[in-house]
């Protein structure tokens, strides 16, 4: 086998062609939400309607003349191929081969493989496996170079050099728009490789092979990619649907217990905003997931991934041009928590805390029952996920609301809950009440309250 291209890359010169809530106030001793005042339950709230999830009428392409020019209305068709399989890099499994389309008369398609170094360190052996797989399917797949190994985890998105390295590899391999970047790894590596593929030639085909629970049940099936910049999560990026996503639960065997648990928060999140019966299924499966039962994990992942993809395909706004993001429930706080903890918290851990926080805020606001809130927090804890971190008490936390608004555009829009599987939008957040939600979670974590 050829040696994988390791990280960091060697130093090059220009001649090498490189471009080379403390939320303020004292913690409350008692909570208004223990018995929700009747006037709160009866009060009309802005946007208190379930979030729609039906496709609008298809757009008709047309050109309308105006006295000062013209307006063009058009849509572009996309196909995102989501496949579930096992032993995906066994040459006898044709799933990867079959999603790759060779150009008629031009022979095998050229493929650049980008691999998460965490997978390599865990003994996953993907570099050897992909070499062998391509060798057995050389009529369809031609590796454009040795596999490129890059750092995994959030450091991959924080270090611009990783993106540059992938872009340089695409350039050096001479890939074209009909070539493929095959990204094998966790969500951060998929984001970086996806951003490089989306911007090279304005779009090289991307195939994702997510290898973590978080990437398999959520981010790996999305249409977004990007990197962190200016101290902000995903500040640079693009909407670019992958050509295909291949979900193989066997990769999860390489994960640490912490990374295994981290991803389940996104399953809980999508269940809370989309499907109460799925939340109940996660509750029932929590013990099996905690002991890393792979068949149970595969079932939960499949349902979560399909819910995420269904929202993208049928929600009417896959590129988030006009509407809010119900799939980002709990994320305004999660993104800020990652930043202010220096990414000590994994994304999934931060999402779990963000979900707990916004569920508590929903209860304090009179929207969500106390019983439902307790079920949500109990489920997260049963999965081995945190519901509180000391960073919640920092003054900087609430800055995340404005950063979230900036990222979405327009007015602030944050999903909240009025029941399991029932989300709605709010356009303002009561800071004092959010601090009270932080205080309650803190007291519960310290054993001074329920649940």
| 3-state SS class at 70 | strand
Pick the closest to residue 303 from 318, 285, 320, 288 (CA basis): 285
pLDDT of residue 124: 66
Strand-pairing partners, residue 247, are: 84
Q: What is the DSSP letter of 52?
A: P
Q: Does the reported pTM lie above 0.85?
A: no
pLDDT of residue 55: 43
Question: Which residues neighbour 406 within 8 Å (Cβ) at sequence distance 6 or greater?
Answer: none
Q: Residues 156-168: pLDDT tens digits?
A: 999 999 999 999 9
Q: Residues 330-373: pLDDT tens digits?
A: 999 999 999 999 999 999 999 999 999 999 999 999 999 999 99
pLDDT of residue 323: 57
**Is residue 51's pLDDT more than 80?**
no
Q: Residues 248-291: pLDDT tens digits?
A: 999 999 999 999 999 999 999 999 999 999 999 999 999 999 99
**Is residue 37's pLDDT more than 60?**
no
Q: Residues 192-232: pLDDT tens digits?
A: 999 999 999 999 999 999 999 999 998 888 888 999 999 88
pLDDT of residue 122: 85
**Is residue 417's pLDDT more than 80?**
yes
Pick the closest to residue 328 from 229, 423, 221 (CA basis): 423
**Is residue 33's pLDDT more than 60?**
no
pLDDT of residue 395: 87
The token pair at 217 is 């049940």
Q: What's the average model confidence in pLDDT over 176-201?
A: 96
pLDDT of residue 50: 44
pLDDT of residue 321: 67
Pick the closest to residue 83 from 249, 297, 244 (CA basis): 244
| C-alpha torsion 8→9→12→17, nearest 10 | -130
- In order of their start, the domains of the chain are 81-255 (3.40.50.1970), 299-445 (1.20.1090.10)
pLDDT of residue 451: 67
Q: Residues 102-153: pLDDT tens digits?
A: 877 778 999 999 999 999 888 767 899 999 999 999 999 999 999 999 999 8
How much of the chain, in percent, has pLDDT values that exceed 70?
83
pLDDT of residue 141: 96
Question: Could you give the residue ranges of the DSSP H alpha helices within 240-398?
Answer: 257-262, 264-274, 276-290, 294-314, 331-340, 347-364, 370-382
**Is residue 44's pLDDT more than 60?**
no
Q: Residues 366-416: pLDDT tens digits?
A: 999 999 999 999 999 999 999 999 999 998 999 888 887 876 677 888 999
Q: What's the average model confidence in pLDDT over 82-103?
A: 94
Separation of alpha carbons 422 and 417, rounded Å = 6
Q: What is the mean pLDDT of the chain?
A: 85
**Is residue 43's pLDDT more than 80?**
no
Q: What's the average model confidence in pLDDT over 320-329?
A: 68
Pick the closest to residue 199 from 234, 160, 172, 239 (CA basis): 239
**Is residue 77's pLDDT more than 90?**
no
pLDDT of residue 328: 84
Provide the sign of the torsion angle of the four alpha carbons 140, 145, 147, 150, taken in this order: negative
pLDDT of residue 22: 33
Q: What's the average model confidence in pLDDT over 226-242?
A: 90
């Amino acid at each position: 086998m050829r040696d994988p291209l390791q990280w960091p890359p060697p130093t090059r010169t220009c001649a090498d062609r490189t471009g080379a809530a403390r939320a303020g106030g004292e913690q409350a001793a008692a909570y208004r939400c223990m018995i929700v005042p009747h006037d709160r339950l009866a009060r009309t709230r802005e946007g208190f309607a379930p979030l729609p999830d039906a496709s609008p009428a298809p757009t008709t392409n047309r050109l309308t003349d105006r006295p000062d020019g013209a307006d063009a209305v058009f849509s572009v068709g996309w196909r995102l191929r989501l496949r579930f399989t096992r032993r995906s890099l066994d040459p006898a499994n044709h799933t990867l081969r079959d999603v790759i389309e060779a150009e008629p008369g031009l022979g095998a398609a050229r493929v650049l493989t980008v691999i998460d170094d965490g997978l390599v360190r865990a003994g996953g052996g993907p570099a050897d496996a992909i070499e062998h797989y391509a060798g057995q399917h050389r009529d369809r797949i031609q590796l454009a170079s040795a596999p490129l190994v890059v750092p995994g985890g959030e450091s991959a998105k924080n270090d611009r050099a990783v993106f540059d390295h992938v872009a340089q590899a695409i350039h050096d391999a001479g890939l074209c728009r009909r070539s493929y970047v095959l990204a094998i790894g966790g969500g951060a590596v998929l984001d970086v490789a996806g951003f490089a593929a989306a911007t090279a030639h304005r779009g090289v085909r991307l195939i994702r092979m997510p290898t973590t629970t978080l990437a398999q049940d959520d981010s790996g099936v999305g249409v977004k990619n990007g990197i962190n910049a200016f101290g902000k999560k995903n500040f640079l990026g693009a909407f670019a649907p992958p050509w295909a996503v291949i979900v193989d639960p066997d990769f999860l065997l390489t994960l640490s217990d912490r990374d295994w648990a981290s991803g389940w928060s996104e399953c809980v999140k999508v269940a809370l905003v989309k499907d109460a019966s799925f939340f109940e299924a996660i509750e029932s499966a929590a013990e099996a997931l905690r002991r890393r039962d792979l068949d149970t994990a595969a079932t939960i992942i499949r349902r979560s991934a399909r819910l995420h993809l269904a929202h993208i395909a049928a929600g009417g706004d896959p590129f988030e041009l006009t509407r809010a993001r119900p799939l980002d429930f709990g994320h305004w706080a999660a993104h800020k928590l990652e930043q202010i903890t220096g990414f000590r918290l994994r994304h999934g851990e931060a999402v779990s805390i963000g979900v707990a926080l916004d569920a508590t805020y929903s209860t304090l606001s009179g929207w969500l029952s106390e019983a439902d809130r307790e079920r949500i927090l109990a489920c997260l804890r049963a999965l081995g996920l945190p519901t509180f971190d000391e960073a919640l008490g920092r003054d900087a936390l609430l800055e995340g609301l404005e950063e979230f608004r900036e990222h979405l555009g327009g007015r602030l829009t944050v999903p909240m809950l009025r029941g399991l599987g029932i989300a709605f939008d709010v356009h303002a957040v009561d800071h004092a009440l959010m601090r009270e939600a932080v205080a309650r979670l803190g007291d519960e974590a310290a054993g001074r309250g329920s649940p």
